[in-house]
Amino acid sequence: MTSVRSDVLGDIAAHVPDERIVRDPDVVSGLSHDEAEWAPVGVPLAVVRAESSAEVQAVVRACHRHGVPVVARGAGTGLSGGANAVDGCVVVALDRMDRIVEIDPLERLAVVQPGVVNDDLRAAVAEHGLWYPPDPASSPWSTIGGNVATNAGGVCCVKYGVTRDYVLAVEMVTGTGELVRLGRRTAKGVAGYDLVGLVVGSEGTLGVVTEVTVRLRPLPPPAITVAGYFSSIVDAGRAVRIVAAAGLMPAALELVDRHCLRAVDAWKNMGLSVDADVILLARLDEPGAAGQLAAQRTLACFEEGGATWAACSTDETEAEALFAARRLAYPALERLGPVLTEDVCVPKAQVPRMLDRIERTAQRHRITIANIAHAGDGNLHPLIITEPGDEAARVRARAAFDDIIADALALGGTVTGEHGVGLLKRPGLVAELSPAVIALHQAVKDALDPAGILNPGKIL
């Protein structure tokens, strides 16, 4: 191992300044994992802080020559272990590749390096009257490269879609060290297979993405927010189903339960848990009278679903505070103890049943499960909370995690809506996909990474 370490790092040092090849064990440790609770983490040889596509290519070529694994990481905000190091790997940190290369208002596209932070891109294109819709809750910190790796969604995805819907092209380094461009800049194009769509969501197992071209939209008009308070999470789920059945398409439809509200209140003193056990938030962005009508119809759906109180927003600041509470829920819960995060997705018609099953799972395993959700598209985020150092609770939490996945699959859902498979969801992926489909995945992996060095052990 010492010889391999010396040889591969020596090859890398011929192309990357030594000060950006991190060997200090404490620094390396901090850059070796994402935010996934209890996902295994290996010990890498080093972390290389790349600043160009050429440097990434040099790293992959060196690792390919020496049979050393490569794990790419962005901001480390992932929740599935997809960016966790494996023993003896080289971690390629892409956070310094943070340049917005181009914004083209005419073609409505932007070209960015993978380390660009999601919110920074949104702010930059807004100056041109444009909008990049994918907005994961981690958007103030997560990077476009990481969003591409997991096909991230977010609050607006119920109406506007997920990352894959906005990626036109990528530049990436394959497992053999080839620097290739996939995709196009044109509004339409069907030349060859959709390799870009294949790469988006592949979690760094098919290539290391070094540049991304994304589609933009015009900035939407100011939205109307409809808030509903519910006495049970199942009632809120029923209201989600009623909204869908009415043919309404909110720009966002988010659920926050009492555990999250209490945690946010304890942290930020927002006073939300005094009035509601569950809050459902809808954002309608149709212009003019159409938006007003959609808001009133959504309000009626909330009331039909059993809301104890519901209203359309008259105060934009108040409405933004409610959505801020939704974004603060996860970090607020982290303050209480380790949080094992799910992101199952079920058909909208099954949202009430799935929420009921999650509550039953919490009772059965005697564990606290908080719930936030992109409820409008059935993407639920049960957050399983344990006390620090409570090993028995940890065992129960893992059992609850497995039961939630099984229930989602039984209701026609999927094991991951936007966080990715990584390490935590690999057993669930095997349960969801047939052996023949798993074999197709492996064949694709073998074609782009024949030596198997790119993020090994993730997904497959």
> What is the domain-level CATH number for residue 180?
3.30.465.10
Identify whether the C-beta of residue 126 lies closer than 8 Å to the C-beta of residue 219. yes
- Once rounded to an integer, what is the mean pLDDT over residues 320-336? 86
pLDDT in tens, 190-199: 999 999 999 9
What percent of the chain lies above the pLDDT cut of 90? 88
Residues 322 and 242 both lie in one domain: yes
Residues 112 and 193 both lie in one domain: yes
The verdict on residue 194 lying in a domain is: yes
Judge whether residue 395 has pLDDT over 60. yes
Measured CA to CA in angstroms, residue 258 lies from 264, 284, 371 at distances of 10, 24, 8
Listed in order, strand segments (DSSP E) in 143-258 are 167-173, 179-183, 208-215, 217-218, 224-230, 252-257
pLDDT in tens, 247-274: 999 999 999 999 999 999 889 888 777 7
- Once rounded to an integer, what is the mean pLDDT over residues 367-382? 96
Judge whether residue 241 has pLDDT over 90. yes
Task: Name the band, by pLDDT with cuts 50, 70 and 90, for residue 316.
Answer: confident
Judge whether residue 2 has pLDDT over 70. no
The verdict on residue 413 lying in a domain is: no
Give the end of a domain, one of 218, 236, 267: 218
Q: Mean pLDDT for the chain?
A: 95
CA 86 – CA 42 distance, rounded (Å): 4
The verdict on residue 367 lying in a domain is: no
Residues 88 and 116 both lie in one domain: no
Residues 145 and 248 both lie in one domain: no
Q: Counting Cβ atoms within 10 Å, is residue 186 exposed (0-12), middle (13-18) or buried (19+)?
A: exposed
Residues 76 and 9 both lie in one domain: yes
The verdict on residue 54 lying in a domain is: yes
CA atoms within 13 A on the CB side of 452: 9
Check residue 314 and give its pLDDT: 66
Identify whether the C-beta of residue 132 lies closer than 8 Å to the C-beta of residue 123. no
Give the end of a domain, one of 25, 60, 93: 93
Give the end of a domain, one of 274, 302, 329: 329
Domain span including residue 64 = 2-93
pLDDT in tens, 74-125: 999 999 999 999 999 999 999 999 999 999 999 999 999 999 999 999 999 9
We report the CATH number of the domain holding residue 70 as 3.30.43.10
Q: Which of 89-103, 117-131, 300-314, 408-422 has the lowest mean pLDDT?
A: 300-314
Residues 114 and 213 both lie in one domain: yes
Check residue 337 and give its pLDDT: 87
Residues 149 and 214 both lie in one domain: yes
Q: Which of 313-327, 424-438, 441-455 has the lowest mean pLDDT?
A: 313-327
DSSP state of 375: G
Dihedral of the alpha carbons of 356, 359, 361, 363, in degrees to the nearest 10: -140
The verdict on residue 458 lying in a domain is: no
Residues 52 and 115 both lie in one domain: no
Residues 158 and 68 both lie in one domain: no
pLDDT in tens, 333-355: 988 889 999 999 999 999 999 99
| Exposure string for 289-316, b = 16+ CB within 10 A, e = fewer | eebeebbeebbebbeebbbbebebbeee
We report the CATH number of the domain holding residue 278 as 3.30.70.2190
- Once rounded to an integer, what is the mean pLDDT over residues 135-149? 95
The verdict on residue 446 lying in a domain is: no
Domains of the chain: total = 3
The verdict on residue 430 lying in a domain is: no
Residues 225 and 212 both lie in one domain: no
Return the structure tokens found at 181.
């461009």
CA 350 – CA 408 distance, rounded (Å): 9
Residues 292 and 308 both lie in one domain: yes
Check residue 191 and give its pLDDT: 95
- Once rounded to an integer, what is the mean pLDDT over residues 130-158? 95
- Once rounded to an integer, what is the mean pLDDT over residues 328-335? 89
The verdict on residue 381 lying in a domain is: no
Residues 56 and 120 both lie in one domain: no
